[in-house]
Structure 1
Amino acid sequence: MRTDQQPIRITLVAPDGKMGRAITAAAEESDAFSIEPDHGDVLVDFSAPEALQATLDRALAAGVPVLIGTTGLDDHADKRLADAAKTVAILRAANTSLGVAVLSDLVERAAGALSPDWDIEIVEMHHRMKADAPSGTALALGDAAARGRGTPIDAERGRDGTGLKRAEGAIGFASLRGGTVAGDHDVVFAGPDERLILSHRAENRMIFARGALAAARFLHGKPAGLYSMRDVISSE
């Protein structure tokens, strides 16, 4: 709870979407947050890639921080976010689970500790309706592994066919779709005669909603800049 006892007002870009409804439900469980249609303290967007610019324009016009939880953003998104972050606080998260934020940190540390002859493969599974693949979370985990290695990411996606040979230093991605799976992620470090597997299982969409509220609490009152879920878990 904030020291002034006033709840943080959350404005949802897509209140009727799956995440919008989950965040509303999570906020109703706490007197530290309220959902406001407009004029919130923090803007939260889990809508669609094509809505990004309108969301950033809205945040800039209101002078409020914004959480971008949308995945599948195009190649121009990084510049748009960086430009907007010069004026307001922005947190971009492919996954707002606090557990996934910790997993990302562990992946980076493991990739840095293990020698280059350990191959890295990322396997993710989601519900049958998910539109993008690999998942934004899988790609973020790949970025974490590349940071740990200190090298640019060399991604191998959706292998198919014959005569395939894994490129040295590549990070592989495999995507599974089916049922109502909220989100499974495995990062496999395959070395000579041994494997290390770091995993996360999302059992309910509410973990993302609670993480989004933690991110909104972190963003409230923050100066302009670009933030991540690592900043959130570091402040908890």
Structure 2
Amino acid sequence: MINTVVSGACGNMGKKILAQFALETDVHVIAAIERKDHQNIGEELQLGLVLSPDLSFVKHNDCMVVEFSNPQATIEHLEIAVERKLPMVIGTTGFTKEQSEFVASCAKHIPILKSHNYGLGMNVFMEVVQSATRLLGGAYDIEIIESHAANKPDIPSGTGMTIAKAIAEARGDVVDEVIQYGRDSTKSYQRRNHEIGIHSLRSGSYRSVHTVIFAGSGERMEFTHHEEDSSIIAKGVVYGVRFLQGQKPGLYSMKDVLAFMQESHL
């Protein structure tokens, strides 16, 4: 049995993770965490599961932390996790460069699985896009269009940036040197070698749509992933939890989880 602590338990993803974990026979939730000022702190979410304000309130050490909160809370919980040697699955987005570096430093002491998107389909999608990039080299222009609901705050999305990094990596580039955020009509423009354009649409009730365009001379290809229900993220988190159980300290990704699934014939 894998004992877990779910942080961000009352958020959209937290609720779906709790619901998914309840269906699994090998995953058990021993504690749930939310921000200190949440109205339900101290209340029982389900039988025996009382909502706590931070990880320090959880005294159980034989457990794994599943973190889907905010960057600052994640950093605070990481400090506790390192001290108590607790593995952590991180789905939090919006980290600063310094915070990302701190996460990487913590991975020297505990196993950490970190991803912007735990959906299995999206991670296979990124594998396909990377393969296409390697095969086509620099002969095709690449653009990314990511569409989300009007109220999504981060631009571009964490998944959109992950796709851009995957493409840059496949071509041996540093993403910050080749990425182009939209186009500015007030400035003259000429496409750079290996440039990756990324465009963010925020409208209506879009769930999540990511399209990668490979545009060549006389043809173009488009790969699109539609996320219709965020519960698929929770299902991916289950596989992530199973993968991380018993791992050595290190910073792992969903690529490692996919390899684990293939080896385990899951």
Q: State the TM-score bracket (shorter-chain normalisation).
A: over 0.9
Pair 1:167-2:189 in alignment = no
Amino acid at match of 1:41: C
SS in 1 for 2:97: coil
Question: Measured at CA, do residues 61 and 203 of structure 1 come closer, stay the same or move farther in structure 2, by a change above 3 Å?
Answer: same
Q: Which residue of 2 aligns with 1:11?
A: 5
Q: Identity percentage over the alignment?
A: 36
Write the distance in 2 (CA, Å) between the matches of 1:181 and 1:61: 40
Structure of higher RCO (CA pairs closer than 8 Å, 6+ residues apart):
1
Which deviates the most, 127-136 or 28-37?
28-37
Q: Is residue 14–residue 45 contact of structure 1 (8 Å, CA) maintained in 2?
A: yes
Q: Distance in 1 between matches of 2:72 and 2:150?
A: 22
Unaligned stretches of 5+ residues in structure 1: 1-5
* Equivalent residue, structure 2, for 1:3: none
The correspondence for 2:16, drawn from 3, 22, 31, is 22
> What's the offset of the Cα at 1:168?
2.4
Q: Distance in 2 between matches of 1:128 and 1:217?
A: 34
Q: Secondary structure at the match of 1:184?
A: strand
Shift of 1:165: 2.7
Query: TM-score, normalized by length of structure 1?
Result: 0.93
Q: Judging changes above 3 Å, is the alpha-carbon distance between structure 1 residues 143 and 87 closer, same or farther for their aligned structure 2 residues?
A: same
Q: Does 1:157 find its partner at 2:151?
A: no
Could you say what secondary structure the match of 2:25 adopts?
coil
- Contact kept in structure 2, 1:126 and 1:182, CA below 8 Å: yes
Structure 1 residue 147, shift from structure 2 partner: 1.1
Amino acid at match of 1:155: I
Q: Which residue of 1 aligns with 2:30?
A: 36
Question: Could you tell me how far 1:169 is from its partner in structure 2?
Answer: 1.4
Deviations 1:154-183 (A, max 9, x none): 110032314333222110100111222221
Asked if the contact 1:41/1:220 (under 8 Å) is kept, the reply is no
Distance 1:182 1:210 in 2: 17
Q: 1:228 is matched with which residue?
A: 253
Q: Gaps (5+ residues) in structure 2?
A: 32-57, 262-266
One-letter amino acid of the structure 1 residue matched with residue 184 of structure 2: D
Name the CA distance, whole Å, in 2 between partners of 1:192 and 1:227.
Answer: 38
Q: Tell whether the 8 Å contact from 1:120 to 1:190 is kept in structure 2 after alignment.
A: yes
RMSD of aligned alpha carbons = 1.4
The partner residue of 1:183 within 208, 216, 229 is 208
Task: Give per-residue Cα distances to partners, 1:37-75, cap 9 Å, x unaligned.
Answer: 133621111111222311211211221111111111101
Partner of 2:220: 195
SS at match of 2:251: strand
Alignment partner, residue 77 of structure 1? 99
- Deviation per CA, 1:57-107: give whole Å up to 9, x if none: 121122111111111110113321221011100111010101111111111
Moved more, 39-48 or 144-153: 39-48
AA aligned opposite 1:77? Q
Residue type at the aligned position of 1:91: L
Number of residue pairs matched by the alignment: 230
> Highest CA radius of gyration, 1 or 2?
2
Q: Note if contact 1:110-1:148 (Cα within 8 Å) is conserved in structure 2.
A: no
Tell me which moved more, 152-161 or 134-143: 152-161
**Structure-1 residue corresponding to 2:48:** none
Change (3 A) 1:180 1:9: farther
Match of 1:138 among 137, 160, 163: 160
Partner of 1:97: 119
